[in-house]
Structure 1
Amino acid sequence: MCRHLAFLGPEEPLGRVLVDPPHSLYRQSWAPRRQRYGTVNADGFGVGWYAPGDPVPGRYRRSGPVWGDQGFADLARVVRTTALLAAVRDATMAGADGEAAAAPFTAGTWLFSHNGAVAGWPRSLAPLVPTLPPVDLLSLEARSDSAFVWALVLNRLRGGDEEGQALADTVLEVARAAPGSRLNLLLTNGETIAATAWGDTLWYLAEPGRRTVVASEPYDDDPHWQEVPDRTLLTASRTDVLLTPLKDLPLKDVENQAPDTPGLTASDDKAPAPPKEPIA
């Protein structure tokens, strides 16, 4: 499992959003309050952000815990942005693929994260392999369910789907192939946010015209945080938030089912013993 967060708002240092709040994503790496699966998110982290005048985000990822990375401490202090996506990771197999398995994943203007796990991975999603171009499979960034789900989303985005539609269709397709999966997906292009609540917690904080935050859990005790109902698609901008129930509609059967793909590792579903609280 993991915790993730996307932010749109006035220009802020990364640390103002990710470190300073009393229950920040930084603190959630060892002391989440609402995490349903796993207890510590110490198997990698990442943050992607947008610079003025550049639609392609920068990205910083590491395979270890965020609290032990001095490079991130400096980055969070000096880098300012109006949009970001960040995640802290709890991996099924610690260290598998290193930082390549840590969100956010990226392509073009998009940043993406998956909070959850695909049931029966990798066998359960083998029938979906033929739906992807071979080059996409050969260039997967990591051997994890999250990287494969991102490939499914990205294929839809490149085909012209809107961000929310791409997430919704991917969640329904994966849930049909692998019932019991947890599929909280988070996507931003720096101007909008799309997210799904499917099996785990999701919240949002909206101040229309000023900021929108979408996160696995609130980073403070502001009473304006709103919980997103399970099986819901969220789409948001700096001015509004729209919630749409995800209907489990029938999907077309995938033809030419592919065999199991060996050598893949699941991403986010273990519960390690908590470490001692780090000193910030």
Structure 2
Amino acid sequence: MTSNHHQSVMFNESIEGLAIKKNGIYIDATFGRGGHTQGILNQLGNDGKVIAFDQDLAAIEYAQQNFNDKRLTVIHSPFANMHNLLTEQGLLGKIDGILMDLGVSSPQLDNADRGFSFNADGLLDMRMNQTTGISAAQWLATANETEIANVIYEFGEERRSRQIATAIKRFQIEKPIETTLQLANIVASVVKTKKHKHPATRTFQAIRIFINQELKQLSDTLNQTLKILAVKGRLSVISFHSIEDRIVKKFIQKHSKQKQLPKGLPIMNNETKQMPLKDLGKSFASKVEINDSRRSRSAILRIAERIA
């Protein structure tokens, strides 16, 4: 069963973090089903604009069918192309806010044939953009045991990565791994977890991140925001696991902590180098939201503002 419903996690907090100006220009880097986009549009005046990115064709088709607003432009592209596309439009340094809701959306999880879910059987695909790249099944068929183990450990922080890789290769001696439940059952034969967490959670996360190059895209895009945001422009990022959050945290810290200038350099008004960002802190989903949405349990929202 496929669902188009997607409840935006930390909806109010992430939009409030943008400090929206009526006539500002904002980016929703992950359109999904447009929850955050609509929330931004609701606070804009007639001259405000939202530019939304998504690499999932299903999301683009949903936008075309359900959104009719002259203030909205939806672009079929990974958000890592943001800098180049905004350069073409003459918008570098003119964006008042960027919202990034990372991870997989509910409609992607609900559609078994997208290959993201270990709870329903479907083709083992995992591509965010199904028009390009190789599927998870194709990668598992060609990768060797060491490559698989390294991916599962690096992107899933799974301690039993080597045993899982061995089990995968042993299974493939008889037949290829083509479906989500095949892979989930292989992992479950090796990994034992607490009742509330599926044994394949970390492995599916790791392979998905690798197939879509999610961490590289995130790092590249965060660096781009320094040139994309206007002064006083806000960055609002929701992450769902520790690896993503560390990247966002380190980026904000790197560009917000004041640095002492080397001795001997001419100093005008102070002795520190002005950094481009101001760290406005982090927050978590409320208890009420966590009770309503299990997905929000791991959500972390970080907000920063460009000040120079």
TM-score by length of 2: 0.25
Higher RCO (Cα < 8 Å, 6 or more apart):
1
> Which structure shows the higher strand fraction?
1
> Which structure shows the higher helix fraction?
2
Max Rg structure: 2
